[in-house]
């Protein structure tokens, strides 16, 4: 085994290297990129002249040029273990869908050279605090075999040494969901910068923002993100726009939701396994049931972080925009509302009161964390009782939810060992509340459409879980 030269630099991007990867000195991010590209046989095409800048400070690096530089540096594709299995032995008899799911989790979640590098700041003996096991697959009683993380032994001194972020990124499903959510935050900011009213020079200002390819390979404490264990959301810090709150109206929230549709769909398809392997029609049905819950859960979570006071009626609709629940008439003062703003507010005010009372305020009291929030989102997505999905998809959804329940319990145990069962119970209750609020909001919009209260966006209306008219 070659001795690692931690003082050297990565030959691909110039970042700090931690040693040899696939025959060349490289950082973990570039090694993960090369492994991922090789294992999945990805083909990249450069949109320019094949000489794009590759460096640690370059955002959205050209994948084709980055891979070419890896090969020029001497990285050997034959050194990549293509059939590496981080989940242990599996039965030879398994369906094609089950095989795809297992491979996805083994390659993208648990491989030692995966996108989330093993933390180096924590003593090596702390990395043994979690062991991941896999229940054997049996076609007679279950559809797939998902990883089941269990804590076998965690002395108190080790628990104190291990950071929360290291712990979370060891969870196969919630760890991936956190990556996806943070990527969504980054893409949201970029999309907002391209909206009318933003100065073009802001697109090129130096920001503390995660590079596109390295969103998946960034250590949780780096690249401008706050720690997962903190109560504040993992926003991109050191940017003035996140410190300057602005009040928005109905038109503003509609525009944000239209942007969120595609970003959220990308998030769940790429980072909420095994969503990417189920049938397209079933994806649409699950996503339609999920999107409204996602909006209310995430916005209530943001409100609980930024405006935790019980008497604060501001409802955060992003990291720098809000409207006041007790002044919805002002919120509906816009050109798309065809009646008096107070009349529109009268329809929606009771539902928003429930959001504040049953989601935002309990989340603030619980000091709801980012990890718990994305775990709750995953539970919302994997609803096995959706009409129109096959028995196989329903079985996948049920089994995935069971894994998420176990991971959420581990998260609750890490946050508050004494009250972990009660904390998990509160999270499950949030799921029921969010589903009821989504159905109630659908009824509100159906009434608004029926009586022509305001112009309703057709795409957003079709994404509501049940459409009454």
pLDDT at 120: 33
- DSSP code string of 224-265: TBPPTTSSS---B-S-GGGTS-EE--HHHHHHHHHHHHHHHH
Least Cα distance to 271 among 211, 209, 181 occurs for 181
| SS3 call for 321 | strand
* Contact call for residues 299 and 368 (beta carbons, < 8 A): no
pLDDT at 423: 96
pLDDT tens digits for range 390-444:
999 999 999 999 999 999 999 999 999 999 999 999 999 999 999 999 999 999 9
* Contact call for residues 13 and 29 (beta carbons, < 8 A): yes
| SS3 call for 121 | coil
pLDDT at 181: 95
Low-confidence ranges of the chain (pLDDT < 70): 1-7, 59, 82-165, 192-243, 466-469
Domains in the chain: ranges and CATH: 1-82 (3.30.50.10), 168-462 (1.10.565.10)
pLDDT tens digits for range 214-253:
333 333 333 333 333 344 444 433 344 445 789 999 999 9
Cα–Cα dist 105/397, whole Å: 15
Cα–Cα dist 281/200, whole Å: 39
pLDDT tens digits for range 252-270:
999 999 999 999 999 999 9
Q: What is the pTM of this model?
A: 0.61
pLDDT at 163: 62
Beta strands per DSSP E along 106-233? 131-134, 147-150
């Amino acid at each position: 085994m070659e001795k690692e030269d931690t003082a050297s630099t990565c030959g691909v991007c110039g970042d700090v290297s931690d040693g040899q990867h696939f025959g060349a000195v490289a950082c973990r991010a570039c090694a993960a990129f090369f492994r991922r590209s090789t294992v999945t046989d990805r083909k990249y095409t450069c949109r320019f002249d094949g000489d794009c800048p590759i460096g640690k400070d370059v955002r959205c690096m050209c994948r084709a040029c980055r891979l070419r530089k890896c090969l020029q540096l001497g990285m050997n594709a034959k050194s990549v273990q293509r059939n590496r299995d981080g989940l242990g032995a599996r039965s030879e008899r398994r369906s094609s869908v089950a095989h795809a799911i297992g491979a996805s989790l083994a390659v993208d979640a648990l491989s030692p050279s995966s996108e989330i590098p093993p933390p180096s700041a924590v003593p090596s003996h702390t990395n043994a605090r979690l062991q991941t096991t896999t229940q054997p697959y049996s076609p007679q009683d279950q559809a797939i075999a998902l990883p089941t993380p269990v804590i076998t032994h965690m002395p108190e001194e080790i628990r104190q040494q291990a950071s929360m972020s290291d712990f979370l990124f060891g969870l196969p499903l919630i760890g991936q969901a956190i990556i996806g959510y943070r990527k969504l935050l980054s893409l949201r900011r970029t999309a907002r910068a391209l909206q009318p009213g933003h100065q073009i020079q802001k697109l090129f200002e130096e920001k503390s923002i995660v590079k596109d390819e390295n969103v998946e390979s960034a250590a949780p404490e780096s690249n401008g993100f706050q720690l997962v264990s903190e109560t504040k959301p993992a926003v991109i810090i050191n940017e003035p726009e996140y410190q300057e709150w602005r009040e928005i109206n109905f038109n503003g929230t509609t525009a944000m939701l239209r942007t969120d549709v595609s970003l959220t769909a990308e998030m769940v398809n790429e980072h909420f396994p095994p969503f990417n392997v189920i049938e397209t029609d079933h994806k649409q049905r699950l996503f339609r049931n999920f999107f409204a819950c996602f909006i209310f859960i995430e916005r209530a979570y943001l409100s609980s972080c930024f405006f935790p006071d019980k008497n604060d009626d501001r409802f955060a609709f992003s990291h720098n925009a809000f409207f006041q629940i007790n002044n919805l008439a002002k919120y509906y003062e816009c050109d798309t509302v065809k009646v008096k703003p107070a009349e529109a507010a009268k329809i929606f005010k009771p539902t928003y009161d429930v959001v504040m009372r049953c989601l935002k305020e309990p989340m603030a009291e619980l000091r709801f964390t980012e990890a718990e929030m994305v775990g709750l989102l995953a539970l919302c997505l994997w609803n096995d009782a959706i009409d129109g999905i096959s028995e196989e998809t329903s079985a996948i959804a049920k089994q995935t939810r069971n894994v998420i329940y176990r991971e959420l319990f581990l998260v609750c145990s890490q946050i508050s060992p004494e009250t972990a069962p009660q904390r998990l119970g509160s999270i499950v209750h949030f799921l029921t509340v969010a589903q009821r609020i989504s159905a109630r909001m659908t009824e509100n919009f159906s009434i608004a459409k029926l009586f022509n209260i305001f112009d309703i966006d057709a795409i957003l209306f079709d994404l509501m879980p049940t459409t009454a008219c």
